[in-house]
Amino acid sequence: MNYTFKWSVLWSGQSGQWLLQGLVTTLELSALAWVLAVALGILSGALRTVPFRPLRWGATFYVEFFRNVPLLVWMFFWYFGVPPLLPRVAQDWVFNHGAEFWAGTIALGVYHGARMSEVIRSGIGAIPRTQFEASVAMGLTTFQAYRLVILPVALRLIVPPGTNESLNLLKNSSVALTISVAELTFQTRQIETYTAKAIEALTAGTLIYLVLCLSIATIMARVERHYAIPGLISRAKAG
Amino acid sequence: MTRILALVLTLAVALTATPALAQDTLEKIRSTGALTIGTRTGSPPFAYVNKNNEWVGFSIDLVEQLIKPEVEKAVGKAIKVEKKESTPPTRIPLLSSNSVDLIAGTMTDTPQRRETVDFSLTFFYTGAQFLVKKGSPIKGVNDIAGKRIASQQASTNAKILREKYPQAQLREFPDQPAAFQALLQGQVDAFTNDGIQLAGLKSKAPNPGDWEIVGDFYSEEPYGMAMRKGDAKFKAAVDAGLKKGFESGKYFEIYDKWFGPKGELPYPMTPQVKAYLLKQIGK
């Protein structure tokens, strides 16, 4: 067959502008969702290890419920399922003020929060129980022991799996196009609509995601080295 | 860094090389014994999954009853028609990668697309309109400023609205069911698509009487079947099938089956459309 490549479609017309807009939307969506995911992850990850049982149950329910349903379903849930619960006036207001974007952010953040929670729980699990006991013996309350001793150590331990999860979040932001968020993948399709050159557009999208993820991975590798606790992360010297 | 660069280049080369594997479509059909079409699952009555879970429709009938016999004649043996789901964003890549041989759904024949794929004779003619709740202030394309309008991603309608009516708030969904759901729930004020497709969706809505299709056609949408570019022998077989259908009247029988008074979606053919279709074969 004859498929003629025409890479110029990527910089002629409005393509460059669309890709840039898509990139900005992807970054905004991912950054906000990441903040939400980390906050929910730390909270629920810590709650899953506390001595008080009902709190553990609540956190376990959140994690298992949200991580075991596909992200696509959560996108539809937050976009189609939640707004009808609001009064009509509020619905109209939300629909006129970027409901798609916020539904996408919440879906992504809450879903990845559940996954992040497991990462943080495993970090806490890696800290010897005696550290918690020693903190309490020194007169700290449970909350203080978590805030001052357990979490600071756990967060430094989980940088590598945390990076992995963050990259997943960034790439999963593309699912938001199903609820009409004009992010990067959406814009590559847009270029395809205008030019009928799908392979070129998809390649551009692929390269942008690749560069984005590689940059984040590089930065995080530095963070990891900088915050590594000697004796707890063996890669500290090797890396 | 050099290694990463090498990896990226390898990837680029791989992407460039794969679709260039030349293959004659008729040759491929002869060796596999199957004509693979890319079609839709949710675009009644052109191609959809019906209540009995059968994958049927007007476009599929055209392929099975008009085009298949001509292709069989060209390859000299009996073949079967295999169906794959293709959506607007995936259909050209599916075709380019040899996953499907013919797009038989609801694809509009446009000059831009013609640079990448070839189109058969036009087999349906429609134009873009709006589906709105009964009594909506939207009566046509001139009333959409500031309104939230749903459209299908990568469709010709979305493109026209973005270019000519930028005041509208466009919301693009990957498929019709999602866009229609957004209309049902009020996320958007109107859903724009080709008139015939809106008629199909309306007839499938829980309460068809609550919805109406408004506005004159603000675009021209001649539907064609797309195939890989430059494969003249295959295109000749596809066109011959449609041409014979127009000549013998078989095409109009199939039209009647789906769009006639007793069809899935009554949509009588206007004399202008009939003349347009027949003009293609010089009548």
DSSP single-letter state for residue B105: S
Residue B44 within any structural domain of the chain: yes
Question: Do B178 and B233 have their domain in common?
Answer: no
Of B219, B251, B271, which residue is a domain's last? B219
What is the pLDDT confidence band of residue B201, given thresholds at 50, 70 and 90?
A: confident
H or E element that contains B273: helix B271-279
- The chain A residue lying nearest B177, using CA atoms, is A178
Q: Do A193 and B12 touch (CB under 8 A)?
A: no
Question: Which residues 36-75 in chain B show a CB within 8 A of chain A?
Answer: none
Cβ-Cβ contacts under 8 Å, B110 against chain A: 196
Residues A40 and A113 sit within 8 Å (Cβ to Cβ):
yes
Residue type (1 letter), B110: T
**Hey, which of A174-178, B156-160, B264-268 has the most confident mean pLDDT?**
A174-178
pLDDT at residue A238 in the model: 45
Among B153, B183, B192, the residue to mutate for chain A (most A Cβ within 10 A): B153
Q: Mean of the pLDDT values across residues B126-155?
A: 92
pLDDT at residue B225 in the model: 97
Q: List, in sequence order, every residue forming a beta bridge with A12; answer none if it has no partner.
A: none
Lowest mean pLDDT among B7-16, B59-68, B101-110: B7-16
Q: Do A196 and B112 touch (CB under 8 A)?
A: yes
CATH of the domain at B103: 3.40.190.10
Question: Do B115 and B30 have their domain in common?
Answer: yes
Q: Mean of the pLDDT values across residues B63-86?
A: 95
Question: Do B104 and B244 have their domain in common?
Answer: yes
pLDDT at residue B18 in the model: 47
Residue B117 within any structural domain of the chain: yes
Closest CB to B112: pick one of A84, A194, A199: A194
**Residue entry with tokens 């990896």:** B7
> What span, in angstroms and rounded, lies between the C-alpha atoms of B60 and B86?
13
pLDDT at residue A231 in the model: 75
All structural domains of chain A with their residue ranges? 28-238
Question: Can you give the C-alpha Rg of chain A in angstroms?
Answer: 21
| CA nearest to B96, candidates B82, B112, B116 | B116
Residue B73 within any structural domain of the chain: yes
Q: How far is A99 from chain B (nearest CA, A)?
A: 8
Question: Do B119 and B227 have their domain in common?
Answer: yes
What is the pLDDT confidence band of residue B17, given thresholds at 50, 70 and 90?
A: very low
What is the pLDDT confidence band of residue B20, given thresholds at 50, 70 and 90?
A: very low
**Contacting residues for B256 by C-beta, under 8 A, at least 6 apart:** B263
Cβ-Cβ contacts under 8 Å, B231 against chain A: 1
Question: Which residues 146-185 in chain B show a CB within 8 A of chain A?
Answer: 148, 150, 153-156, 158-159, 169, 171-174, 178, 181-182, 185
Residue B103 within any structural domain of the chain: yes
- Res B13 pLDDT > 70: no
Cβ-Cβ contacts under 8 Å, A202 against chain B: 93
pLDDT at residue B32 in the model: 94
Cβ-Cβ contacts under 8 Å, B26 against chain A: none
Of B219, B250, B270, which residue is a domain's last? B219
> What span, in angstroms and rounded, lies between the C-alpha atoms of B4 and A228?
26
**Residue entry with tokens 């991603």:** B153
Cβ-Cβ contacts under 8 Å, B158 against chain A: 193
> Would you give per-residue pLDDT tens digits along chain A (239 residues)?
557 788 888 888 788 899 999 999 999 999 999 999 999 999 999 999 998 999 999 999 999 999 999 999 999 999 999 998 999 888 889 998 889 999 999 999 999 999 999 999 999 999 999 999 999 999 999 999 999 999 999 999 999 999 999 999 999 999 999 999 999 999 998 888 888 788 888 899 999 999 999 999 999 999 999 988 887 765 544 44
pLDDT at residue B84 in the model: 95
> What span, in angstroms and rounded, lies between the C-alpha atoms of B174 and A238?
47
Question: Do B110 and B232 have their domain in common?
Answer: yes
pLDDT at residue B10 in the model: 58
- Pick the more confident residue, B13 or B87: B87
pLDDT at residue A235 in the model: 53
Q: Are strands B80-85 and B34-39 parallel, antiparallel or unpaired?
A: parallel
Residue B184 within any structural domain of the chain: yes
Cβ-Cβ contacts under 8 Å, A94 against chain B: none
Among B103, B172, B228, the residue to mutate for chain A (most A Cβ within 10 A): B172
Residues B212 and B132 sit within 8 Å (Cβ to Cβ):
yes
Could you please report the per-residue DSSP string of A32-62? HHHHHHHHHHHHHHHHTTSS-HHHHHHHHHH
Torsion, CA B268, CA B274, CA B276, CA B278, rounded to 10? 150
**Contacting residues for B51 by C-beta, under 8 A, at least 6 apart:** none
Q: Do B174 and A214 touch (CB under 8 A)?
A: no
pLDDT at residue A45 in the model: 95
Q: Are strands B42-43 and B47-49 parallel, antiparallel or unpaired?
A: antiparallel
What's the domain count of chain B?
2
What is the pLDDT confidence band of residue B4, given thresholds at 50, 70 and 90?
A: low
Lowest mean pLDDT among A215-224, B11-20, B174-183, B271-280: B11-20
Q: Mean of the pLDDT values across residues B39-44?
A: 88
- Res B176 pLDDT > 90: no
Q: Is B235 on the interface with A (CB under 8 A)?
A: no
Question: Do B151 and B121 have their domain in common?
Answer: no
CATH code 4.10.520.10 for A28-238: no
Q: Do B93 and A83 touch (CB under 8 A)?
A: no
Give the count of Cβ contacts less than 8 A between chain A and B: 101
> What span, in angstroms and rounded, lies between the C-alpha atoms of B79 and B26?
11
* Residue-number span of the structural domain to which B163 is assigned: 128-219
Residue B1 within any structural domain of the chain: no
- Res B261 pLDDT > 80: yes
Residue B63 within any structural domain of the chain: yes
Of B178, B198, B219, which residue is a domain's last? B219
Question: Do B119 and B28 have their domain in common?
Answer: yes
Q: Do B185 and A84 touch (CB under 8 A)?
A: yes
Q: How far is A2 from chain B (nearest CA, A)?
A: 6
Closest CB to A80: pick one of B88, B153, B185: B185
Q: Mean of the pLDDT values across residues B145-166?
A: 90
Cβ-Cβ contacts under 8 Å, A93 against chain B: none
Question: Do B174 and B42 have their domain in common?
Answer: no
pTM over cut 0.80: no
- The chain B residue lying nearest A185, using CA atoms, is B89
pLDDT at residue B187 in the model: 92
Question: Do B253 and B164 have their domain in common?
Answer: no
Q: Do A1 and B92 touch (CB under 8 A)?
A: no
Question: Do B66 and B197 have their domain in common?
Answer: no
Question: Do B240 and B251 have their domain in common?
Answer: yes
Q: How far is B217 from chain A (nearest CA, A)?
A: 20
Question: Do B109 and B239 have their domain in common?
Answer: yes
Residue B6 within any structural domain of the chain: no
Q: Tens digit of pLDDT for each residue in A15-55?
A: 889 999 999 999 999 999 999 999 999 999 999 999 899 99
pLDDT at residue B257 in the model: 95
